[in-house]
Amino acid sequence: MENKKIFLASPHMSDEGYEQAYIKEAFDTNWVAPLGENVNKFEQELSEYVGSKTGAALSSGTAAIHMALKALDVKKGDIVFCPSLTFSATANPIIYQNATPVFIDSERDTWNMDPLSLEKAFEKYPNPKAVIVVHLYGTPAKIDEIKAICDKHNVPLVEDAAESLGSTYKGKETGTFGKYGIYSFNGNKIITTSGGGMLVSEDEERIAKVRFWSTQAREKARHYQHNEIGYNYRMSNIVAGIGRGQLKVLNDRIAKKTEIYNTYKEAFKSISEIEMQPTPEDTKPNHWLSVITIKEDSKVTPLQIIEALEKENIESRPVWKPMHMQPVFEKCDYIQVAEKSVSEDLFTRGVCLPSDTKMTMEEQERVIKIIKGLF
């Protein structure tokens, strides 16, 4: 058993079998379609959990971002500000709408969008159509400052809370500060439906419109009538059943992720070259992934850590490669105020450590021992 694979983050169904009960109900009633009781209830229950008025259950977090931008009427020629340090799913929907992303650097306190760089972006591009903010690895961004800048310029904010479901900023859930918030239930997220996402908002009329677009924009007519382009983005009743069951254990998963983070933090505090992703004041991250950076002058490199773990059948990863460094976005503008790009620096020095909620304390000790051995 010594070499049993330890995952970065993998699906973790409830021990109580909550998910199976909802799935069985869907099967028993033959509701295995992109509509049904589970879809409606999952929208309601997740919205209640985060404290939002309403939500639309969709096929992915990416689809949710896409629908948020469409709901904001983002179109060809529009500019959308987006953090550079994120997964490509944050930026891709900007291109789906034929708009232009402008990438913004991070700041060191949270690793998220830098408010000063955002201000600089507004100086250069005074009229963007939207701003997307990400709560990286479950750590809330400086949302008060970012929202104040957006409000000052009268530009709507979209929160990519794909990684931060259950994280709070000053006691309020991430994903509920902007005009729209999005969540992901991909296989590696803190709770999963295998794939899926949710768009939440206070604007019930726009969410109803998103549901309409997501079911191929089919008009209420006896025949198949389409006045607008639609999408096949609706979540299935089976997938939503898994989500309802997973929602019941979300708080347990957050507690376990936090325990994993604190265990790493305690274990590495004697190694001066290792720093954990910061936990800013007034925030309660869900610690979806525990991430470290290695100081520049260290004799150990991030790649050496990744390879040493890999050799022992343990999964780890580099920090996201910034979007402005990706070949597909190389023509896009990138705004920074720091002398040295923060997002590039974090990418160069960062490692995402195994943060799987099924990982035992012994398995985490295995990870820690290997890393400590390198120093």
Mean pLDDT for 176-190 is 98
> Does 55 share its domain with 194?
yes
Calculate mean pLDDT across residues 60-87: 98
Q: What is the pLDDT of residue 34?
A: 80
The per-residue pLDDT for range 38-54, each reduced to its tens digit, is 999 999 999 999 999 99
Q: Clarify whether residues 140 and 276 are in a common domain.
A: no
Q: In terms of domains, do 147 and 43 share one?
A: yes
- For residues 256 and 197, state if they share a domain: no
Decide if 1 is inside a domain.
Answer: no
Is 98 within the bounds of a domain? yes
58 located within any domain: yes
Q: Are residues 163 and 233 in the same domain?
A: yes
For 210-257, how does the pLDDT look when each residue is reduced to its tens digit (9 = 90+)?
999 999 999 999 999 999 999 999 999 999 999 999 999 999 999 999
Kindly tell me the burial class for residue 35, based on how many C-beta atoms sit within 10 Å of its own C-beta (0-12, 13-18, 19 or more). Answer: middle
Q: Please tell me the predicted confidence (pLDDT) of residue 35.
A: 87
The mean pLDDT value of the chain amounts to 97
191's tokens: 């709770």
pLDDT at position 1 over 60? no
Q: Do 32 and 92 sit in the same domain of this protein?
A: yes
Give the CATH number, domain containing residue 61.
Answer: 3.40.640.10
What is the distance between the alpha carbons of residues 129 and 148, in angstroms, rounded to a whole number?
A: 16
| Residue 317 pLDDT | 98
Domain that holds residue 312: 250-374
Q: How far apart are CA 227 and CA 229, in angstroms?
A: 7
Is residue 233 a part of any domain in this protein?
yes
Q: What pLDDT score was predicted for residue 239? A: 96
pLDDT band at 193 (very low <50, low <70, confident <90, very high): very high
Domain membership flag for residue 151 = yes
Shared-domain flag, residues 294 and 322: yes
Q: What is the pLDDT of residue 3?
A: 84
Please write the tens of the pLDDT for every residue from 13-31: 999 999 999 999 999 999 8
Domain C-terminal end among 214, 247, 280: 247
pLDDT digits (tens, 9 = 90+) for 272-307: 999 999 999 999 999 999 999 999 999 999 999 999
The residues pairing with 101 across neighbouring beta strands, listed in sequence order, are 80
DSSP-derived secondary structure letter, 327: G
Is 160 in the same domain as 288? Answer: no
Answer whether residue 215 is part of any domain: yes
Same domain, 46 and 64: yes
Q: Would you state the pLDDT for residue 2? A: 61
Contact in structure between 26 and 40 (CB atoms under 8 Å): no
Asked whether residue 265 falls in the same domain as residue 215, the answer is no
Same domain, 116 and 241: yes
Q: Could you tell me what percent of the chain has a pLDDT over 70?
A: 99
- The phi-psi region of residue 108 (left if phi > 0; otherwise alpha if psi is between -120 and 50; otherwise beta) is alpha
Select from 191, 223, 247 the last residue of a domain: 247
- Number of structural domains found in the chain: 2
Instruction: Give the pLDDT band of residue 32 (cuts 50, 70, 90).
Output: confident
208 with 234, same domain? Answer: yes
Domain boundary among 227, 247, 267: 247
